[in-house]
Amino acid sequence: MCRSCWCARSKCRAIACLPIRRLTQAPLQRPKTRVKVLFLTNEYPPHIYGGAGVHVGYLSRELAKTMPVEVRCFGDQHLEEGNLKVIGFELNASNFTCPKPLRSAFGAVRRCIDFNTANIDADLVHCHTWYTHFGGILAKKNYGIPLVITVHSLEPLRPWKREQLAGGYDFSLWVEKTALEMADAIIAVSTETRRDIERLFDVDSTRVHMIHNGIDLDQYRKVHSTAALKHYGIDPNTPYLLFVGRITRQKGFQHLVRAIKFMDRGFQIVLCAAAPDTPGMAEEMKTAVERAKAQRSGIIWIDEMVDQKTACELYSHAAVFVCPSIYEPFGIINLEAMACQTAVVASAVGGIKEVVVDGETGFLVPLEQMHESPFEPTNPEKFARDLAARINQLMKDPQLRERFGKAGRKRTEENFSWAAIAEITKKLYETLKR
């Protein structure tokens, strides 16, 4: 087994594994040249709500240490700092009369056009999330530069997005398929995501490269301050289970809330959950939390997106971090918890299996999914019970939690630094420059 990407091959040829062995592949022997990259992204700090925004923020800054990087994003950001230039493109949707669910799709198209009417002088364009794929298509066709796409998630595997986008979901399917099948290089954030790409799209496997997400090991580390705990009414002297994530089907909040009734008493449950996909989902979460609170005390819902400093405090003092996702291409949230030396209980899906090592940094809970609908467990109650059982086991065993926490920190240090990931990405760029 490859110890870097955790695939079954003993001699893995994935791009992400190149630093672990001598770089002997012919394409990577090109002379080093100065490459300028243009990032197109929906999210960019400080306006982020998910893992893609975290990824783009850290990767762009790390790459800018050795090469020019321009970022065009949705928002009002403006930054020029050394090799890094960030420009936010705002949107005036006041004259939109289309149905509300379609506004994000049409807004994305308008900004993708704006990305391109501002002159592009980069050597290649690198897109993140389907919202920017139309911009990447325009840049490749009009400016004649290579197109790179990082797959943070795949639209065919997120059917619940129709609740949020209505017909815009069909557009997201089309634009993602079109962009991926014409891209010069596709970056999958996990081996499982790579398999999904090759299974779902007509792409040459030689154009698909696996490069994991990373973590800032200086920013994400165990801290001793407890100001955030006091602010949110968390008792620092009583162990607590922590969930951090958006209110979306993907993150499995509905299964976590269902599991609460099977959890032992005597520890707090902190749900740091916000940014619902739809108003209906927000109401569903509210009802579920109220029902859970009626069953037991010590449930605290933080209904807001917290900053990085606050998140570190929450991770650092949590006894256990739980990630019950039903679909997760990578699961950067688990890395954040592990970097803060927190034991993890997570569903055994997607890229999570490449981040959390079962029995070493936490526990993985099997998630048997329906064949006709692989986005829900075959037996939701069994999954909830299994999730609760692993949480209860760790809550009763402080020594095991400590051992998992230390192993998790070590794993992040050895495998997921942004410096290494940026170097691999830069080498890929150099093979594409025309």
Q: Which CATH class is domain 15-214+417-432?
A: alpha beta
- Contact by Cβ (8 Å): 376, 370: yes
* Burial environment of residue 118 by CB neighbours within 10 A (0 to 12, 13 to 18, 19 or more): exposed
Sketch the domain layout of the chain as residue ranges: 15-214+417-432, 227-414
Give residue-wise pLDDT tens across range 161-199. 888 899 999 999 999 999 999 999 999 999 999 999 999
Is the pLDDT confidence value at 374 over 60?
A: no
Indicate if the pLDDT at residue 15 is higher than 80: no
Domain 15-214+417-432 and domain 227-414 have a common topology = yes
| Whether residue 6 has pLDDT greater than 60 | no
pLDDT tens-place string over residues 379-394: 889 999 999 999 999 9
Residues 303-316 have pLDDT tens digits of 988 998 999 999 99
Backbone angles phi, psi at 320, to 5 degrees: -145, 140
- Give the least confident one: 9-23, 229-243, 377-391, 405-419: 9-23
Q: What is the pLDDT of residue 3?
A: 44
For the segment 92-139, what is each residue's pLDDT rounded down to a tens digit?
999 999 999 999 999 999 999 999 999 999 999 999 999 999 999 999
Confidence of residue 13 (pLDDT cuts 50, 70, 90): very low
145 contacts 116 by C-beta, under 8 angstroms: no
Average pLDDT over residues 364-382: 75
Half-sphere exposure (Cβ direction) of 328: Cα atoms closer than 13 Å:
29
Residue 57 has pLDDT above 70, yes or no: yes
Dihedral sign of CA atoms 24, 29, 32, 34 in order = negative
The superfamily (CATH) of domain 227-414 is: Glycogen Phosphorylase B; (3.40.50.2000)
pLDDT tens-digit map of 68-84:
999 999 999 999 999 99
The pTM score is 0.77
Cite the DSSP H helix spans in 152-237: 162-165, 168-182, 191-200, 227-231
Could you give the count of Cα atoms lying within 13 Å of 388 in the half-sphere of its Cβ?
19
10 Å Cβ neighbour count for 411? 18
Contact 5, 12 (CB under 8 A): yes
pLDDT at position 26, please? 38
Per the structure block, which two tokens stand in for 90? 């705002």
